[in-house]
Structure 1
Amino acid sequence: MGLKLLLLLLSAALLAGCSALVDRRAAEREAEAERAFPPLGQMVEVEDLRLHAVVRGKGPDVVLIHGLSGNLRDFTFSMVDRLAERYRVIAFDRPGLGYSDPLPAEANGLTDQARVLSKAAAALGAKRPLVLGQSYGGAVALAWAATRPDSYSGLVLVSAVSQTWPDGLPLFYRVTSSRLGSQFAVPLISAFVSEATVNAAVAEVFEPQVAPPGYAAHIGAGLTLRRQTMRANADQRADLKPEVEALRRLYPGIRRPVEIIHGTADPIVPHDVHAIPLSQQIPGAALTLLPGIGHMPHQVAQDAVIEALDRAARRALPR
């Protein structure tokens, strides 16, 4: 056996051993996360997918759609309980995140997610709910309204992505959405990312405010760090910009009541790039800007968000 071939075989064996070690560590951490943060609700089956939903309260139906790198625990921290006092609230894990099954990689976009979530809501008895989406979930809510106009009654968009923007795809998502990054980087992140790094990411999302006490412990960030979830999340983020470009041509056709609420200090989805143009593209849309508020008004300015939902309900629903 030649020296070069021997070295190649030894290198391959070393890489295989390292890969097995990383995968084993990632699997252990995934199991730990699932033990610490089990499902909170029920499973709904649509299109051969199982979607995780929390359903609480009585009254008009409201569907809540979370953003990137999250799950329905973002809403169950406090908002679901408040809304359940007078609404029937359905909070979903979006496909591929939390405990919901992923869509096929080739059909994992905004309109695909809107379709399966609207079908899941109908399966739960919500034929025409109010739909509230935050951040990326706002883009899913817009796709729901634009492509399934008879399956909702009103729209509330919180810090919603709605327009294209000049920046390219961040390095993290360029890596994790690539073939090699998905195969090698994602397991490494899942296996070894520190709790301090996770807490720093949560803090960054809330800037310039801070997360409410107990939020980081409740949200279940370890669920987001599972390999399958990271891959689904990365693919969704990588495809977001071209999907929004195609979707925004449909905004003028949205005819049901729309409430847009956005912080003026949002560093992630700037209000002047997204909320203000959107308010001009949808006939009759109402825009509420929250001075000094960042990307998470449903946590740090929750009263204002609930008031926007109440306004949408008054506009959309018969007495």
Structure 2
Amino acid sequence: MTPPCPPYAPPGRFLRAGGVPLHTLVEGEGPPVVLSAGLAMAWFDWDEVAALLVAAGRTVIRFDRPGHGLSASAAAPPTATGEAHRIAALLDALGVTEPVTVVGHSLAGFHAEAFARLHPARTAALVLLDSSIEETAPRTLLPAALRTGAARALGRALTAAGLPAALGPAARRAAVRASRAGAAAADPAAPDLVRRCYRTGRVWRGILLENARYPDTAAELLALRARHPLHAPATVLVGYDGGCGRAALRWAARQAALADRLGARFEVAEPAGHLVMLDRPHQVARAVRYAAAPVPPGGRRLTRAARPPAA
């Protein structure tokens, strides 16, 4: 008779921050770095970047936002201010008192910038990794409460129909492939972790809820910029696939404009898709390591990425 499989023991631990148990992983020693992934991503998407930072003498803090990875579902709709305070609460729960380098990828760039503005004494540096960006407040046809209710109802319906269990991991794999540079780019995440997270309705409900509140989060961050100056040195790192497509060039130009607006360094990771941490982990780790250095007047523009050292 085959013995039963032992219960799954995820790496890290669960800490309550902002009223929600968050799956949290802390590794290494040295100046602290907080890594927050974009919409629909999980802690393991930072694996290679985290290993490089730990080897470089950093304490790396990874966590899954509510409804993502292994964390519990959100108790309330997400906001930029709420997620910024959640990061601060997580640092309190971990006993981290020194300033941190906070890294936000995609949608989490809104949260990371809000943290840097609302908690300047706790911020050593800010890194925005192919961050979401809005130059003006997005217009919406439906009020926030209606969008939130619709997202929750759709999440319940998808779960009841069994779609996350049937299609969740495949949808994750397809999204990752589409967001990386190169036709052969694949999802490096372990299949058991992908199944563990993306077969659950909890994760897809979390994704829908964050996506539904995107315009509100963007508008909130624009308002925070007007009231709370950014004191920490910042880096804007954009992924570029090396092509001449209009959309890719426009995205890079918008990221450069964001760097100008923040007085930040601007770097281009090439070749890279939206999931820069998977395509260019060495460059991401290098940008994080040097993020706290003072930004020269006018920022520093790098139009080509240095290639990572040979393995």
Give unpaired runs (5+ residues) of structure 2: 142-146, 296-311
In the alignment, which residue of structure 1 is the partner of 2:217?
Answer: 243
Cα distance in 1 for residues equivalent to 2:168 and 2:93: 39
1:227 aligns with 2:201: yes
Aligned to 2:275: 296
- Any gaps of 5 or more consecutive residues in structure 1? 1-31
What is the rounded CA distance, in whole Å, between the counterparts of 1:231 and 1:268 in structure 2? 30
Q: Give 1:218 shift.
A: 6.8
Matches within 5 A, 1:5-84: 38-76=9-47, 78-84=48-54
Residue in structure 1 matched with residue 251 of structure 2 by the alignment: 271
Within the candidate set 165, 172, 184, 2:157 is matched to 184
- 2:105 is the counterpart of 1:134: yes
Q: 1:94 to 1:198 in 2, by over 3 A?
A: closer
How does 1:57-136 map onto structure 2 within 5 Å? 57-76=28-47, 78-85=48-55, 86-106=57-77, 108-127=78-97, 128-136=99-107
Secondary structure (helix, strand or coil) at the match of 2:123 reads coil
Q: Is the contact between residue 163 and residue 273 of structure 1 (CA under 8 Å) also seen in structure 2?
A: no
1:160-203 per-position Cα deviation (integer Å, ceiling 9, x unaligned): 1121588989xxxx899535422312433213217544432221
Q: Secondary structure at the match of 1:193?
A: helix
1:285 equivalent to 2:258? Answer: no
Where does residue 118 of structure 2 map in the other structure? Answer: 147
**Contact between 2:34 and 2:62, CA under 8 Å: does it hold in 1?**
yes
Deviation at 1:136, TM superposition (A): 1.5
2:232 corresponds to:
256
The percentage of counterpart residues that share the same residue type is 24
Pairwise CA RMSD: 3.2
Structure showing the higher helix proportion among its residues? 1
Structure 1: distance between partners of 2:230 and 2:248: 25
Partner of 1:15: none
For 2:168 and 2:217, locate their aligned partners in 1 and report how far apart those are by CA, in whole Å.
33
What do residues 243-300 of structure 1 show as CA deviations (whole Å, max 9, x unaligned)?
Answer: 2123124336112100110013497996346412211221x31111234421122121
CA gap of 1:240–1:213, structure 2 versus 1, over 3 A, is closer
SS in 1 for 2:202: helix
The residue type paired with residue 283 of structure 2 is A
* Structure 2 CA distance for aligned equivalents of residues 209 and 95 of structure 1: 32
| Residue equivalent to 2:303 | none
Query: How far did residue 42 of structure 1 move?
Result: 1.3
CA contact (8 A) 1:90 1:121 kept: no
Equivalent residue letter for 1:84: V
Partner of 2:130: 159
Q: Which residue matches 1:13?
A: none
After superposition, the Cα gap between the structure-2 partners of 1:227 and 1:305, relative to the gap in structure 1 and judged at 3 Å, is same
Could you tell which deviates more after superposition, 202-211 or 160-169?
Answer: 160-169
Shift of the 245–306 alpha-carbon distance from structure 1 to 2, 3 Å rule, reads: same
Deviations 1:210-258 (A, max 9, x none): 4467436375254134112211221111111232123124336112100
8 Å contact from structure 2 (residues 130, 239) kept in 1: yes
Q: Which residue of 1 aligns with 2:308?
A: none
User: What SS does structure 2 have at the residue aligned with 1:150?
Assistant: helix
- Structure 1 residues 269 and 231: CA distance shift in structure 2, 3 A: farther
Are 1:176 and 1:231, in contact at CA under 8 Å, matched by a contact in 2?
Answer: no
Number of matched residues?
Answer: 276
Shift in Å, 1:115: 0.8
On the 8 A contact 2:35/2:61 being kept in 1, the answer is yes
Determine helix, strand or coil for the equivalent of 1:90: strand
Q: 1:274 to 1:122 in 2, by over 3 A?
A: farther
